Amino acid sequence: MSSTFPPTPNSITQYIENLKPFEKMFNKKLDAAVFFASRGIPVFPLYTVKNGMCTCRKAENCRTPGKHPMHKNWQEEATTDPEKVRRVWMADPYANIGLAMGNRTPWNRH
């Protein structure tokens, strides 16, 4: 498995270049989430920013727009299962990507 990201074969690059702007963003976020998950890094959805405001219920009053989990139980919901990742980002293609960097990651921290 290659560790380069994003994948660069001509067919993939050409496919992405031909997508509409929404599809490009959707596919980039989905592809990135699957990339991390497939390398053993659990991912979970974060709120995003739209029109300069967080998409959470606090909107313009949010102190960390686009940088906090969409679900309270994000630690338990974080997954490395590519199919679960696809379902999450198919349901909310604008979601930012959170990486759970605790004990479940594949790297030693020391």
Q: How far apart are CA 2 and CA 6, in angstroms?
A: 10
Taking only the tens place, the pLDDT of each residue in 34-67 is 999 998 999 999 999 999 999 999 999 999 999 9
User: Does the pLDDT at position 11 exceed 60?
Assistant: no
What does the mean pLDDT of the chain come to? 80
* Angle, helix 21-38 to helix 10-17, in steps of 10 degrees: 140
pLDDT of residue 28: 84
List the chain domain ranges.
10-99
pTM, two decimal places: 0.70
- Whether the pLDDT of residue 9 is over 90: the answer is no
User: Does 88 have pLDDT greater than 60?
Assistant: yes
The pLDDT value recorded for residue 5 is 47
The pairing of strands 49-50 and 53-54 is antiparallel
Q: What is the pLDDT of residue 55?
A: 95
